[in-house]
């Protein structure tokens, strides 16, 4: 086993490099703390994911997770303005007056945040153990040590990871249920005769969007189609090719567009797409154990909620430090 963190003493280890984890990491790194982030994903995004595929010799990217985000909190608005200035976010009026997307893909803001931090992609934390005054985090062949740990992963995954290390937090996480979402990615040779977005609160398709019409995208006519939570649960264990065919038929039936044969068709299952909407504490921190939890499920089931949750954790540590030095 390789040991990391003992040499230069990692102050804070963050498990989960989605919007919540990287929001916390950005704020904490700004205070001079040595922060390392572990993420099991191959690349940045978490649920703000973008999938690149080649269609007809062209690289095309689909946002198959979060479709857009809103910015209502003043601090988050300031951050989004900085992303816009850096070219990693832009307004997308087709989804609403206050709608923003990452550019050129939805994961761009997370990618940009990660580039300024020490993030280890492709590293899955498997076990958290107390080791004297430190935390020891086992991740495959590697072991990381840190004084403080933040777990910033979806509730269902946090419940498993925290079961031994922080049973109270694990119980909080286990009480949260998330809705699944089957997401379909389709490309067509010709534009479909539809508006750029479609929403429904009742039918099997809750959302569909012309991905290629988002700012900063180019290439083929692409669509992302989200099955409603009820439809996603019905199809939950079917093979993805079967789901893709069913959702395509649902899409044409729901929108009234004439059926067309896609040049590319794929589906992705999000088991924990969005937690139930109930505002909790924002984040939680146990100063005795020096462990915290953050994520959209602790604030609100959105990109902005995840960002605010990560910020709330960083603020809890800042307050603790202020109290200890006063
Ligand atoms: C289909 C779909 C549609 C959505 N639509 C919208 C929308 O339109 N607008 C909106 O605002 N929000 C939307 N959301 C929600 C939004 O994406 C989330 O609220 C937000 O991205 C959550 O961020 P997070 O950091 O809390 O979690 P995540 O983005 O899930 O980040 C958690 C990270 O932890 C990593 N991880 C998990 N377990 C481990 C482990 N053991 N070790 C290491 N790493 C681990 C994961 O790889 C992931 O990167 C949507 C989500 C989905 C899936």
Q: Which structural domains are found in the chain, ordered by start?
A: 2-48+107-176+277-325 (3.50.50.60), 178-275 (3.90.660.10)
| b (16+ CB within 10 A) / e for 186-223 | bbbeeebeeebbbeeeeebbbbbbbbbbbebbeebbbb
pLDDT band at 3 (very low <50, low <70, confident <90, very high): very low
What is the pairing mode between strands 291-294 and 283-286?
antiparallel
CA of 68 to the centre of ligand 1 (A): 13
Residue to probe by mutation, ligand 1, list 15, 16, 184, 309, most atoms within 8 Å of CB = 16
309 vs 30: CA distance, rounded Å: 17
* Cβ-count burial 22-48 (b if 16+ within 10 Å, e if not): bbbbbbbbeeebbbbbbbbbebbbbbb
Q: What is residue 251's predicted lDDT score, i.e. its pLDDT?
A: 98
Average pLDDT over residues 303-323: 94
Position 9 scores a pLDDT of 58
Mean pLDDT of 239-251: 98
pLDDT of residue 279: 66
From the CA of 297, give the closest atom in ligand 1.
Answer: 26
Q: Which of 18, 229, 280 to mutate to test the pocket of ligand 1 (most atoms within 8 A of CB)?
A: 18
Beta strands in the chain (DSSP E): 2-4, 10-15, 35-39, 51-55, 58-62, 69-70, 89-91, 99-102, 118-121, 127-131, 134-139, 142-151, 178-188, 197-199, 205-210, 221-227, 264-275, 283-286, 291-294
With cut-offs at 50, 70 and 90, classify the pLDDT of residue 278. Answer: confident
147-198 pLDDT, tens digit each: 999 999 999 999 999 999 999 999 999 999 999 999 999 999 999 999 999 9
For residues 96-116, average pLDDT: 97
pLDDT of 227 over the 60 cut: yes
């Amino acid at each position: 086993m390789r040991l990391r963190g003992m040499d230069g003493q990692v102050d804070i280890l963050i498990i989960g490099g989605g919007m919540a984890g990287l929001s916390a990491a950005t704020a904490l790194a700004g205070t001079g703390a040595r922060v390392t982030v572990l993420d099991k994903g191959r690349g940045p995004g978490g649920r703000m994911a973008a999938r690149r595929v080649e269609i007809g010799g062209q690289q095309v990217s689909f946002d198959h997770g979060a479709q857009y985000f809103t910015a209502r909190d003043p601090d988050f608005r300031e951050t989004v303005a900085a992303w816009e200035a850096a070219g990693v976010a832009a307004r997308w009026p087709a989804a609403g007056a206050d709608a923003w997307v990452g550019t050129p893909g939805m994961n761009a803001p997370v990618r940009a945040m990660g580039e300024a931090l020490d993030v280890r992609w492709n590293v899955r934390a498997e076990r958290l153990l107390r080791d004297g005054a430190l935390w020891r985090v086992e991740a495959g062949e590697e072991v990381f040590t840190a004084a403080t740990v933040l777990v910033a992963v979806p509730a269902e995954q946090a419940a498993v990871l925290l079961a031994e290390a922080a049973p109270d937090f694990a119980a909080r996480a286990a009480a949260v249920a998330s809705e699944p979402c089957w997401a379909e990615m389709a490309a067509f040779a010709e534009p479909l005769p539809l508006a750029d977005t479609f929403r429904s609160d009742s039918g099997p398709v809750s959302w569909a969007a012309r991905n290629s019409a988002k700012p900063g995208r180019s290439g083929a006519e692409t669509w992302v189609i989200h099955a409603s939570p009820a439809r996603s649960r019905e199809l939950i264990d079917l093979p993805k090719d079967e789901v893709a065919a069913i959702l395509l038929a649902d899409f044409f039936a729901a929108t009234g567009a004439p059926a067309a044969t896609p040049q590319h068709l794929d589906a992705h299952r999000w088991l924990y797409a969005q937690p139930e909407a109930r505002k909790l504490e924002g984040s939680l921190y146990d100063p005795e154990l020096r462990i915290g939890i953050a994520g959209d499920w602790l604030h609100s089931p959105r990109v902005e909620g995840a960002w605010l949750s990560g910020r709330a954790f960083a603020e809890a540590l800042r307050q603790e430090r202020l109290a200890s030095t006063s």
